[in-house]
Amino acid sequence: MDLSTTIAGIRFPSCFMNASGALCVTKEELIALGRSRAGAIVTKSMTVEARQGNPAPRYYGFPGGSINSMGLPNLGYKAYAELIPELKRLGKPVIASVAGLCEDDFPVIAQAINEAQPDLIEVNLSCPNIPGKPQIGYDAEASERLMKRVRKVITVPMGVKLPPYFDPAHHKLMGDVIGRCGVDFLNLINSVGNGLVVDPETETVVIKPKGGFGGLGGTIIKPVALANVRAFWKHFEGRMPIIGTGGVMNGVDAFEHLLCGASAVQIGTALVEEGVGVFDRLEQELAACLEKRGYRSVSECRGKLREL
């Protein structure tokens, strides 16, 4: 079974990879991803300065999902720029995830990280967890300005990681914006922010930052992720490569993302809960699912969702 995939001309040995944020902050974690069955190494979203992130507890898993408010803990872009050549030697594509605490941070980081030549750059417009800083992806004008600025300094394939949109009008608005910005691929979706999980026993919230508010992940967000993958797949008539992220806990979940139009899938909650061994399991489950349904490769089923 061929589980490899190609995004913006870059070949990935497997369509599964980590979502930025899941076990990818430190050098050790990134090397472990490189040595695992993951099809790529995706860095934590980086900021100008190193960050400790938000106070703990800041991740909570529950049956059906997770909530997090990590607050972009990362080593700072200079450390990731230094690490990239070593990570590339592990023999799979490296995706550098670029964030920022203000609009002007993004081009600074993008330019420096581009010089380190990761295989692709993913620009994160959708972190829901920085107190007082709304998700850029919900501001179409700011998103367009920012994407155009970073595009000027990025020479490798450039993608954007978007927040979930809940209305076709917003899929169209953002699709049109993206179409004007020279974007090479999309990553859909970031965690669904902001949710609130309550523990009725203790009568408390379950994470500390922002009064318990945070980004939701896992099974509960899969329909939202699938809707976004499908909507943008249709908007771009199948010509924009999409990484589907959200609710992939098993091989069938991944198959659903592929049917909706994803070329690859990223794993967040399941990776945090299970560790890098999750990639072996997911590969086996997806291969069995595709074989049972008569598909020989990931590309054969991409976008093939039938409507009634």
Residue closer to ligand SIN (CB basis): 36 or 124: 124
Length reported for the chain: 308
Least distance CB 58 / ligand SIN (angstroms)? 8
Binding site for ligand SIN (CB under 6 A): 21, 45, 69-72, 124, 126-129, 190-191, 215
Residue closer to ligand SIN (CB basis): 102 or 288: 102
The structure tokens 């030549």 sit at 117
Least distance CB 194 / ligand SIN (angstroms)? 11
Is residue 127 annotated as part of the catalytic site, yes or no? Answer: yes
Residue closer to ligand SIN (CB basis): 80 or 295: 80
Helix intervals (H) in 182-277: 222-235, 251-260, 269-274
- Cβ neighbours around 197 below 10 Å, total: 16
Residue closer to ligand SIN (CB basis): 195 or 215: 215
Least distance CB 105 / ligand SIN (angstroms)? 14
Confirm if 237 and 230 have CB atoms less than 8 A apart. no
> The sheet that has 185-188: what strands, in order across it?
16-18, 264-267, 242-245, 185-188, 158-162, 120-124, 94-98, 41-42
Least distance CB 127 / ligand SIN (angstroms)? 3
Least distance CB 173 / ligand SIN (angstroms)? 21
Q: Which of 127, 181, 260, 289 is catalytic?
A: 127
Residue closer to ligand SIN (CB basis): 72 or 153: 72
Task: Provide CB contacts within 8 A for 139, sequence distance 6+.
Answer: none
d(CA 33, CA 14): 13
Helix intervals (H) in the chain: 27-35, 77-88, 105-115, 140-153, 168-179, 222-235, 251-260, 269-274, 278-292, 298-301
Residues carrying an active site annotation: 127
